[in-house]
Chains A and B, each alone.
Chain A
Amino acid sequence: MKVNDLILQTVTTLLSFIIIIFSVYLFFAGHYTPGGGFIGGLMTSAALVLLLLAFDIKTIRKIFPFNFMTVAAAGLLISILTGVAAMFFDVPYLTHTFGYVELPILGETALASTLIFDLGVYLVVVGIAMTIIQTIGESE
C-alpha cells in the first residue's frame, strides 16, 4: 500500500514559501533588529528540510540542482573577500563601512558592507546544514 501524502505536500508547497521569505526578512533585519545571517540560514535550511520531508530526495535535487558543499565554500570565500577588500583601502582586515544609498523603491537606505559578510555566513550555514542532512539521509 502506497502512503498518500497529499495533505502534507500541499501544505509544504505553501509553507516553504512563507518560511523562505521570513528567513530572507531575518537576514536583512539583522543589522538593526534581532536576526542575521546565522538564523536566516538556519531557517532557509529548515524550509529545505521540510521539502525533503514531504517529497523525496531526488525531487529536491532536481529543484535545487547545486552541491551544497560548493554553497558553503562560496560563502566562506565571500566572507574572506569582504575582509580582504578592506585592505585595499588602507584599513585593517575586516574593517567595515556603511553609507546612505538612494534605492529605486525603498528610497534612502543605509547599506552596510557587513551585509556581504553576513551573506557569506548565510551561505555557509545553509550549505553545511543541508550537507549534513543530505549525507545522513542518503546513507542506507
Chain B
Amino acid sequence: MTETINIFIGIVVLLGSLLSLVTTIGLIRLPDVYTRSHAASKSATLGVLLILVGALLYFWFADNYFSARLVLGIVFVFITAPVAGHLISRAAYYTNVPLWGETVQDDLKTKERPKTKKEVEKRQKVHTEA
C-alpha cells in the first residue's frame, strides 16, 4: 500500500465526514421541512458514499480484499436515500406542512393541495387515523 493511496483514501474519508457535518449544519440552520430534506438527502448521501468508497479502497489496498458487500452498500444507499427524501417531502406536502415564509412560487398549490376547508379537515382526519 503506497503513500499516495494512503493520502487519497484519507482525503476521501475526510471529505465524506465533512459532507456529513455539512448535512447536520444544514438540518439545524435551514428554515422548513423541504429545504432540510434537500440538505439531508443530497449531502448525506454523498458523504456516506465517500466514506464507504474510502473503506472499500482501504481494504482493497491494505488487505487485498475486494468487499462486494461494500459495493452493494454503495449502490443501495445511492438508490434509496433520494427516494426516502422524496417520500418524506411528499408526505409533508400532502399533510399541509407550511412552506418557508419567503417562498415565492408553489406550482403544486392548484393541483395537490386541498382547496376547500372540508377537504383539509378530511385529509387531517385521514392523517391522524393513519
In this complex, how many residues of chain B approach chain A with their Cβ under 8 Å: the count is 11
Which residue of the partner chain, among B72, B75, B83, B112, contacts A11 with CB atoms under 8 Å?
A: B83
**Which residue in chain B gives the minimum CB-CB distance to A19?**
B76
Which residue of the partner chain, among A1, A3, A15, contacts B80 with CB atoms under 8 Å?
A: A15
Q: Is the interface of B mostly helix, strand, loop or mixed?
A: helix
Asked if A87 is at the interface (CB within 8 A of a chain B CB), the reply is no
Bound complex: CA of A15 vs CA of B87, how far in Å? 16
Interface residues of B in 51-83 (CB under 8 A from A): 69, 72, 75-76, 79-80, 83
B115 to chain A, nearest CB (A): 11
Asked if A8 is at the interface (CB within 8 A of a chain B CB), the reply is yes
Contacts of B79 in A (CB 8 A): 11, 14-15
A selection of 13 A-B contacts at a CB cut-off of 8 Å is A1-B112, A3-B94, A7-B83, A7-B86, A7-B87, A8-B83, A8-B87, A11-B79, A14-B79, A15-B80, A18-B75, A18-B76, A22-B69
Residues of A near any B CB (own CB < 8 A): 1, 3, 7-8, 11, 14-15, 18, 22
Residues of B near any A CB (own CB < 8 A): 69, 72, 75-76, 79-80, 83, 86-87, 94, 112
Closest 9 CB pairs of A and B: A11-B83, A7-B86, A7-B83, A11-B79, A8-B87, A18-B76, A15-B79, A22-B72, A15-B80
